[in-house]
Every structure is written in C-alpha cells, then in structure tokens.
Amino acid sequence: MALQGEGKRERAGLSPGAAALAVALDLEPAAARQIGARLAREVGYLKVGLALFCSEGPAIVRELQEAGARIFLDLKLHDIPNTVSLAARAIGRLGVDLVTLHASGGEEMVRAAVEGCAEGAAAAGVTPPTVLAVTVLTSLSPMALTRIGLEGPPERAVVRLAALAAAAGAGGIVCSPREARAVRAAVGSGARLVTPGIRPAGQAFGDQARSETPEAAISAGADLLVVGRPILQAPDPVQAARELVDELNRLLAAAR
C-alpha cells in the first residue's frame, strides 16, 4: 500500500534545515500568535497542539496560515473509527499539512483517519494532510510503559505500533530519535519520521524521558525535528530558530 501523503513537497524557498524543523507553539494564545507570526516563514512547520487548539480552535490555524506558516496539527486523535473519521474530515477541510493520531487506536482507526482527511480536503479543494502515527510518547520511560501494560522495552513497542500504522496507510511515524533507526528498518523509506522533544546539546530534557540532540536525531534518520522550549524560551526566538536551522543544514550536508 502506498503511504498516505507520500510525495508531498516542502514549501519552496526553505533550506533543507528549515524544512526539517517544526516549532511547537506550546504557549498561551497571545504569545503563540506573536511568536508564530515571527517564525511562520523561518521554519518548515508551526505545531499547533491540543491546548492551543482547544483554546482557539480553527481560527488560530487560519491566522498562522495567513502569516505564511504550514501547520502541523498535533491533536493525537484516538477514538472509535467513526468518531475519528468525522474529526478527520473536519481537519482535512482546514488545509493543514500534518496531523497526528495515536497508532494504538488500531489499523481500522488509522484507515478511518486517512480516508476522512482525504474526504474533507477534497470537499474544500485543498491538499489532504499527511497523517502521522504517534507510537510511544517521548515522556514515557521504560518503567512507565510497564505500568500501563505496553509490552516493552520502548523500541519493541514503538516498532510494533509503527508497522501497524504504516500498513494502515499512515504517511509518517512519530517516535523518539532513539527508535528512529529501528522504525526505518521496519517501515521502509516511504514513511516520514518525526522526532519530538529535541534538545540542543547542553540543555535539560525536562519532561522528555527519551529525548536526544539534533545531531543524534539526524544521524538516526529523522526527517522532521520538533523543537519547543529551546526556541520559545530563548531571548530572541527567531535568532534561536535560525541558529538551529544553520546547525541542521550542516548536519544534513554531512549526512549526504
């Protein structure tokens, strides 16, 4: 089966490093609007997460799109297939570029999301978003996985869920850089690998139990790195983003 979203092109004019960077706007709405407008054309995507979307709804997506941003809608859908299908149709109409769901919802749910996004996008005359399947949250340690009953270690659980989602048509997989190589081996070159919780060398990992540096993520084969606090909490977020883009350009050039 061809993976959903396969072949989508990056926004013209972005360097490889910029295209490989998504900034997570995990901020209060006013700050998200301000910083988002400044970063909209600096990076590949702005990630609108659950808190911001619940607060502001589709309006924040449209505002950031008008500023020139491509939107990574990180809602992590997880429900019965019919409910997910209805949500996915609504998301497809928004013209966002990426949307997440939990792979643990099962193959039928993943298929419902892929089909729903395509139907909604077709109705609105826009390109459907690439559906990204979240495997195991990067905040979960091996001990936490055991407590919730997911057969570990994390890499085993991640690969199992990634293979399931790819078989159901998801266009990408969300995993930590520590599992990226194993996921790539399991799902092949067609799936986009997205690694959240990235922290530049020397910065604290915070609540991310399985985080890594940009260098480790690129080395492991990640296609898109998600960064939040290291950019958002910098004195100048735009400068911080540009410095990280420069680093990613160097890393990607060395990896060729």
CB within 8 Å of 197: residues ≥ 6 apart: 138, 139, 176, 205, 208, 210, 211, 212, 226
Q: Which residues of 171-191 are buried (b: 16+ CB within 10 A; e: fewer)?
A: bbbbbbbbbbebbbebbeeeb
Give, rounded to a whole angstrom, the gap between the first and last alpha carbons of the chain. 28
Nearest C-alpha neighbor of 221 from the set 179, 159, 168: 179
Rounded Cα distance, 100 and 191, in Å: 14
Rounded Cα distance, 205 and 67, in Å: 30
Start-end of H helices in 125-221? 142-148, 154-167, 177-187, 214-219
Determine whether 47 is an active site residue. no
Cβ-contact 43, 240 below 8 angstroms: no
Question: What region does 154 belong to: left with phi over 0, alpha with psi -120 to 50, or beta?
Answer: alpha
CB within 8 Å of 190: residues ≥ 6 apart: 2, 3, 6, 166
Residue tagged active-site, from 41, 76, 78, 156: 76
Amino acid letter at 12? A
Q: Which residues are catalytic?
A: 76
